[in-house]
Amino acid sequence: MIFTARPRLTGLVLAAVIFWIDQWLKRMVAGPWGLREIGDHLPLLPFFDLTRTHNYGVSLGMLTANSMEMRWGLVALTALIALVVLVWMLREKVLGEILPLALVLGGALGNIRDRVRFGYVLDYADFHIGDFRPFLIFNLADAAITIGVVIILARSFLIREKTEQQPAGAPASEN
């Protein structure tokens, strides 16, 4: 029992670490690093700046919360998704399946906390190549969610592909 609980505990710890670092970075951006107003800007590298913005919606600004009802609706929706991810994570046994779910969970909790406290999610990471911005301004929580989802999708496609190629009961081939 302890053996199967360890990967889940690792996942919960990773989710908590993602949440904590995300919240710490947001406090630093809004406080000591001086990005107090929307549009405040701090250049760091030729291709990466900190630029404060507020996201009142979800991914890519969809489902923008224009009212208190929408705000709390988004909180409820994202909390429900986070709960589903938590249950899914606790049902998994393989660390490779648990860790990407933990990334999604930690990121979701960080953004949910922002939306509850402020009514928006604080975004600050501004990646660019000159004037070209391949991404919207984002935060660590968004990055963790995206990386987790990409890993989940990649694993599901790769694992399904291997399963379809091998007949049932056949030993794995060595290449």
Q: What is the pTM of this model?
A: 0.84
Distance (Å, whole) CA 78 – CA 114? 12
> Is 123 labeled as catalytic in the residue annotation?
yes
> Is 40 labeled as catalytic in the residue annotation?
no
For the chain, 175 residues long, give each residue's pLDDT as a single digit of tens. Answer: 455 688 899 999 999 999 999 999 999 999 999 999 999 999 999 999 999 999 988 765 666 777 888 889 899 999 999 999 999 999 999 999 999 999 999 999 999 999 999 999 999 999 999 888 888 899 999 999 999 999 999 988 887 655 455 555 555 554 4
> Shortest CA distance to 55 belongs to which of 42, 68, 71, 40?
71
Domain parsing of the chain, residue ranges: 2-155
Q: How many CB atoms lie within 10 A of CB 125?
A: 19
Catalytic residue among 22, 114, 123, 126: 123
Catalytic residue among 22, 114, 126, 142: 142
